[in-house]
C-alpha cells in the first residue's frame, strides 16, 4: 500500500476542493481534506493541481490546510454486520454517528462500516490442503436469524489452504484462513473490500424467468418484473413513489433488500425503520430489518455523498447476490443522484448538455442499471443469485420527457408510470395502466402457468383489453354524455370500474389487502373477466346494462379483496356472480349468462 502523501488546499468552492503538491495522485483516489480530515475523492487532475469532491460540508475550510492522499480507491467494506444496519452515503453506520455525536451529524468522523468489536460465530467449510479459487465459500456465519452469510474468497485470489481457524467466534478483521498463493501468503477474514464503482465479477449471466412477487396486483399481474430485471418508476411529487417502493421492500419475495434513500426525506427513513422493525417475516417471525440494508443520504446531507450512495448500494447488493441470494436494490430517487452528478459537473466547469446535465449522464445511468441481472456466481459450491434494480425517477413538473426519465427508460425492462390524475383520486398504487410497460410479461408467463394457472395469460390480456377499450369509450362519453352510450359500451365502463376499484386499487397499509397472493390475484382477475364476458353476452341479447349494474354482487366485487377469508371469499363470490347472471338470463329468457 502506498505511503500517505501530503499536499495543501488552494481553493474551496462548495463540495469541490482544489489541491496541489501531491505527486502521482490518481483519479478516484481517496483523500482526507483539511485539519478536520473530511473524506474526499479525486475527480480531476490537471497540471500540478487536482480537484476532489468532498463528501462532507466544507464550510470553514481554508486554503493552505493539508490534504492527505491515501493511495487507495473509494471502497466498500463487505462482510457480516451489513444487514439490519443503516449507513450514510459514504458507508458510515448512522447509529455509530449518533452515539458519538448526538442527533445532528457533525464533520470529520471516521467510522468503519462493519463494527470491529462485534464477534460472529464462524463455521469453517475448508481444511488445510484444500485448494481455493475466487468466489469459493470458505465458511459461514449466521449474520441474522434470517440470513446465513456465506464468506467467499475475494475475486482475483486463489491458493492452497495452509492454515484454517477452527469453529469459534471471531471479529471481522481476524484471519480465518491462510492461503499459499504461489509463494506469497494471503489471509482471508470475514471482511473484504471492493471498489464501489466497479461491478463485482460473476461466472455467467442467465436469463430472467421468475417473477418478483410483490403482492401488488397491478404489478404482479399487469406489469411484472423478473428477478434480475430493472424497473423505473417515474412520477411527479405526491404520486406515491415512496409508498409503493416501501411496500415492495417490505413484502416482495426477495431474500435481501438494499434500500437507498438518495436525496429524499429524513422522516421517510424514520418511517421505514419503524416499519422494518415492526413487520415480521411470516416464515420465521423475525423483523424484516434483519434481511435489509438501508443507505440513507437524505436531501440535506452533502450532495457529493449522494452520488456515492448509489454505488455503495449496488456493490453491497452484488455481494449478497454472489452469495447466491435474490436481492432487490431500490434507489429512491435516481433523479437526485443525477442532480448530484450535475452539481459536481458544473462546479468542475464541465460543459453542460441537456438541462445542465453532463454529457455522460446516459452513460452513468446505463452503468448503474447494468449491474442488475441473474447470474451464476464465481466459485464453489454452485450458486445462483439475482439482483433486481428498481429506481424511482422524480421528473420536474411530472414531465416524462426530461433527460433523466428519457435516458432511464432506454435502459430498463419495465416502467411503472405513476399518474397524477390517479393520485388526485386517491387511487393507489397510482400506476397508469395505459402508459406502463413490462418486457418481462411474456417471460414470466411460464411461471404463472406452472405455479398458478395455465389460463392466467389469457385473463391478463383480456383485462388489459377491457381497460384500454374503456379509456377510449370514456373519451367519447366526455363529449356525448354517458347516457347517450349504447349498453355494450356502458358495460365496458362498468367492468373497467370493477377492475379499477376491485383489482387495481390496493391501498391498505394494514389488513388483508396489503399483500395479495398470486392465487388470489388470479381468482380476482378470473372473477372480473368472466363476469364481463357473461354479462356482455346478456347485454347483446338485450338485457339492459342497468340491470347488471344494479346487481348487489357488482358492489361486492369491488370489496371482496378486503375479505379476510382471502381466496375462499373470491371463489364464493364467483359462484354467486355466475348464479346472479344466470338468474338474469332466465328472467329475460335468453341463453348464456350461466356457467357452462
Residues numbered 68 to 87 that lie near other proteins (CB under 8 A) are 86
Residue 11 lies near other proteins (rule: CB under 8 A): yes
Residues 290-329 that bind other proteins (CB under 8 A): 296, 298-301, 303
Which stretch, 164-172, 223-231, 350-358, 377-385, contacts other proteins (CB under 8 A)?
350-358
Nearer to other proteins, 58 or 323 (CB): 58
Query: x/- binding map, residues 35-74, to other proteins, per CB under 8 A?
Result: ----------------------xxxxxxxx----------
The residue from 7, 12, 159, 407 that contacts other proteins (CB under 8 A) is 12
What residues from 429 to 488 belong to the interface with other proteins (CB under 8 A)?
477-484
Q: Which is nearer to other proteins, 499 or 585 (CB)?
A: 499
Of 4-12, 144-152, 278-286, 319-327, the segment contacting other proteins by CB under 8 A is 4-12
Q: Supply the minimum distance, in Å, between the C-beta of residue 95 and other proteins.
A: 6
- Smallest separation (angstroms) from other proteins to the CB of 315: 21
198's grid cell: 466497479
Considering only residues 6, 101, 434, 476, which one is a binding residue for other proteins as defined by CB under 8 A? 101
Residue pair 326/385 in contact by the 8 Å Cβ criterion: yes
Q: How far is the CB of 346 from other proteins (least distance, A)?
A: 5
Least distance CB 436 / other proteins (angstroms) = 21
Nearer to other proteins, 298 or 328 (CB): 298
User: Can residue 6 be called a binding residue for other proteins (CB under 8 A)?
Assistant: no
User: Is residue 394 a contact point for other proteins (CB under 8 A)?
Assistant: yes
- Candidates 6, 434, 476, 509; binder of other proteins (CB under 8 A) is 509
93 CB-near residues (< 8 Å, 6+ apart): 85, 86, 87, 111, 113, 115
Site membership for other proteins, residue 396 (CB under 8 A): yes
- Closest separation between CB of residue 365 and other proteins, Å? 17
CA distance 559 to 571: 14
User: Closest approach of Cβ 546 to other proteins, in Å?
Assistant: 9
- DSSP for 338-361 reads HHHHHHHHHHTTPPB-GGG-BTTH
According to CB under 8 A, which one of 103, 166, 183, 589 is a site residue for other proteins? Answer: 103
The minimum distance between CB 260 and other proteins, in angstroms, equals: 13
Q: Is 100 in the site for other proteins (CB under 8 A)?
A: no
Q: Residues 288, 290, 292, CA angle at the centre, nearest 5°? A: 75
Q: What are phi and psi of 90, to 5 degrees?
A: -120, 20
Q: How far apart are the first and last CA of the chain?
A: 77
CA 528 to chain centre: 31
Q: Which of residues 144-183 bind other proteins (CB under 8 A)?
A: none
Q: What is the distance, to the nearest Å, from the Cα of residue 527 to the centroid of all Cα atoms in its chain?
A: 32
Residue 465 Cβ vs other proteins, minimum distance, rounded to whole Å: 24
Residue 449, SS3 per DSSP: helix
Q: Which of 39, 43, 67, 105 binds other proteins (CB under 8 A)?
A: 105
Number of residues located near other proteins, criterion CB under 8 A: 78
How far apart are CB 29 and other proteins at their closest, in Å?
22
Per-residue x/- marks for other proteins, 213-242, CB under 8 A?
-----------------------xxx----
β-pairing, 256-264 vs 326-332, is parallel
Q: Which is nearer to other proteins, 184 or 478 (CB)?
A: 478
In the bound state with other proteins, the residue whose beta carbon lies nearer, of 150 and 336, is: 336
Choosing from 102, 182, 282, 589, the residue that interacts with other proteins (CB under 8 A) is 102
- C-alpha 345/C-alpha 333 separation (Å) is 19
Which residues, in sequence order, are bridge partners of residue 142?
Answer: 148
Cα separation, 463 vs 496, in Å, equals 8
256: phi then psi, degrees, rounded to nearest 5: -130, 140
Task: Choose between 88 and 318: whose C-beta lies nearer to other proteins.
Answer: 88
Residue 270 Cβ vs other proteins, minimum distance, rounded to whole Å: 4
Residue with smaller CB distance to other proteins, 106 or 381: 106
- Select 152 or 393, whichever has its Cβ closest to other proteins: 393
- Would you mind telling me the total number of residues written for the chain in this entry? 596
Distance CA 68, CA 61 (A): 15
Q: How far is the CB of 91 from other proteins (least distance, A)?
A: 15
Restricted to residues 405-434, the positions that interact with other proteins (CB under 8 A) are: 420, 423-426
CB of 162 to other proteins, least distance (A): 43
Select 6 or 270, whichever has its Cβ closest to other proteins: 270
**Is the sign of the CA dihedral 220, 221, 227, 228 positive or negative?**
negative
Please state, in angstroms and rounded to a whole number, the distance separating the CA atoms of residues 194 and 79: 11
Those residues with Cβ within 8 angstroms of residue 386's Cβ, 6 or more apart along the chain or in another chain: 208, 227, 228, 254, 321, 326, 327, 373, 374, 375
Q: Do the Cβ atoms of 36 and 42 come closer than 8 Å?
A: no
Q: Is 360 in the site for other proteins (CB under 8 A)?
A: no
Please name the residues in contact with 10: beta carbons below 8 A apart, sequence gap of 6 or more.
18, 19, 20, 49, 63
Residues 532-591 that bind other proteins (CB under 8 A): 552, 555, 558-559, 562
Secondary structure E strands in 309-371: 326-332
What residues pair up with 6 in beta bridges, in sequence order? 68
CB-based contact 320:112 (threshold 8 Å): no
Contact between 27 and other proteins per CB under 8 A: no
For residue 578, CA distances in Å to 101, 107, 530, 585 come to 66, 68, 9, 10
Chain centroid to CA 256: how far?
Answer: 10
Span from 35-43, 101-109, 137-145, 431-439 in contact with other proteins (CB under 8 A) = 101-109
Which residues does 528 contact at the CB level (< 8 Å), separation at least 6?
463, 495, 498, 499, 502, 503, 557
Q: Are 535 and 581 in contact (CB under 8 A)?
A: yes
Longest distance between any two alpha carbons in the chain, whole Å? 95
* Local structure of residue 200 (DSSP, 8 states): P
Site for other proteins in 243-272 (CB under 8 A): 261, 263, 265-267, 269-271
486: cell is 349504447
Q: State in angstroms the smallest separation of the CB of 488 from other proteins.
A: 16
Amino acid at each position: 500500500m502506498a505511503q500517505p502523501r501530503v499536499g495543501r488546499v488552494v481553493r474551496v468552492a462548495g463540495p469541490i476542493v482544489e489541491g496541489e503538491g501531491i505527486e502521482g495522485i490518481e483519479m478516484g483516489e481517496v483523500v482526507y481534506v483539511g485539519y478536520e480530515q473530511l473524506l474526499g475523492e479525486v475527480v480531476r487532475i490537471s497540471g500540478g493541481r487536482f480537484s476532489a469532491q468532498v463528501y462532507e460540508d466544507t464550510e470553514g475550510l481554508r486554503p493552505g490546510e493539508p490534504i492527505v492522499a491515501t493511495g487507495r480507491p473509494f471502497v466498500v467494506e463487505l462482510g457480516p454486520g451489513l444487514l439490519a444496519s443503516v449507513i450514510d452515503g459514504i458507508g458510515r453506520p448512522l447509529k455509530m454517528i449518533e452515539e458519538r455525536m448526538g442527533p445532528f451529524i457533525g464533520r470529520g468522523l471516521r467510522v468503519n462500516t462493519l463494527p470491529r468489536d462485534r464477534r460472529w460465530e464462524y463455521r469453517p467449510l475448508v481444511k488445510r490442503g484444500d485448494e481455493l479459487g475466487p468466489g469459493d465459500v470458505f465458511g459461514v456465519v449466521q449474520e441474522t436469524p434470517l440470513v446465513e452469510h456465506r464468506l467467499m474468497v475475494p475475486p482475483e485470489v486463489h491458493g492452497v489452504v495452509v492454515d484454517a481457524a477452527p469453529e469459534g467466534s471471531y471479529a471481522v478483521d481476524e484471519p480465518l484462513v491462510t492461503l499459499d498463493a504461489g509463494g506469497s501468503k494471503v489471509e482471508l477474514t470475514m471482511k473484504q473490500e471492493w471498489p464501489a464503482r466497479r461491478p463485482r465479477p460473476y461466472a455467467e449471466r442467465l436469463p430472467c424467468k421468475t417473477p418478483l412477487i410483490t403482492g401488488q396486483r397491478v404489478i404482479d399481474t399487469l406489469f411484472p418484473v423478473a428477478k434480475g430485471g430493472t424497473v423505473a418508476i417515474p412520477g411527479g411529487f405526491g404520486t406515491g413513489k415512496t409508498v409503493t417502493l416501501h411496500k415492495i421492500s417490505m413484502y416482495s419475495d426477495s431474500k435481501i433488500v438494499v434500500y437507498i434513500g438518495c436525496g429524499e426525506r429524513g422522516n421517510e427513513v424514520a418511517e421505514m425503520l419503524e416499519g422494518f422493525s415492526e413487520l415480521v417475516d411470516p416464515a420465521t417471525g423475525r423483523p424484516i430489518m434483519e434481511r435489509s440494508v438501508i443507505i440513507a443520504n437524505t436531501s440535506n446531507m452533502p450532495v457529493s455523498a449522494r452520488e456515492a450512495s448509489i454505488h455503495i448500494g449496488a456493490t453491497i447488493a452484488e455481494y449478497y447476490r454472489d452469495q447466491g441470494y435474490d436481492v432487490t436494490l431500490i434507489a429512491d430517487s435516481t433523479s437526485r443522484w443525477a442532480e448530484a452528478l450535475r452539481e459536481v459537473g458544473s462546479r468542475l466547469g464541465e460543459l453542460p448538455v441537456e438541462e445542465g446535465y453532463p454529457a455522460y449522464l446516459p452513460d452513468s445511468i446505463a452503468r448503474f442499471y447494468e449491474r442488475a441481472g441473474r447470474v451464476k456466481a464465481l466459485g464453489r459450491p454452485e450458486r445462483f443469485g439475482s439482483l433486481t434494480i428498481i429506481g424511482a425517477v422524480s421528473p420536474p413538473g411530472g414531465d416524462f420527457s426530461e433527460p433523466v426519465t428519457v435516458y432511464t427508460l432506454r435502459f430498463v425492462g419495465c416502467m411503472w408510470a405513476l399518474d397524477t390524475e390517479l393520485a388526485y383520486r386517491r387511487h393507489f398504487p397510482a400506476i397508469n395502466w395505459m402508459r406502463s410497460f413490462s418486457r418481462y410479461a411474456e417471460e414470466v408467463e411460464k411461471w404463472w402457468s406452472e405455479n398458478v394457472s395455465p389460463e392466467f395469460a389469457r385473463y391478463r390480456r383480456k383485462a388489459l383489453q377491457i381497460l384500454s377499450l374503456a379509456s377510449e369509450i370514456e373519451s367519447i362519453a366526455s363529449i356525448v354524455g354517458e347516457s347517450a352510450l349504447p349498453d355494450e359500451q356502458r358495460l365496458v365502463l362498468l367492468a373497467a370500474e370493477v377492475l379499477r376499484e376491485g383489482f387495481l386499487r390496493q391501498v391498505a397499509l394494514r389488513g388483508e389487502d396489503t399483500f395479495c397472493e398470486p392465487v388470489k390475484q388470479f381468482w380476482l382477475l378470473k372473477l372480473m373477466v368472466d363476469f364481463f364476458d357473461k354479462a356482455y353476452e346478456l347485454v347483446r341479447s338485450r338485457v339492459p346494462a342497468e340491470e347488471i349494474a344494479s346487481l348487489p354482487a357488482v358492489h361486492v366485487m369491488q370489496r371482496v379483496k378486503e375479505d379476510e377469508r382471502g381466496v375462499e371469499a373470491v371463489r364464493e363470490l364467483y359462484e354467486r356472480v355466475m348464479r346472479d347472471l344466470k338468474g338474469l338470463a332466465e328472467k329475460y329468457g335468453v341463453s348464456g349468462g350461466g356457467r357452462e
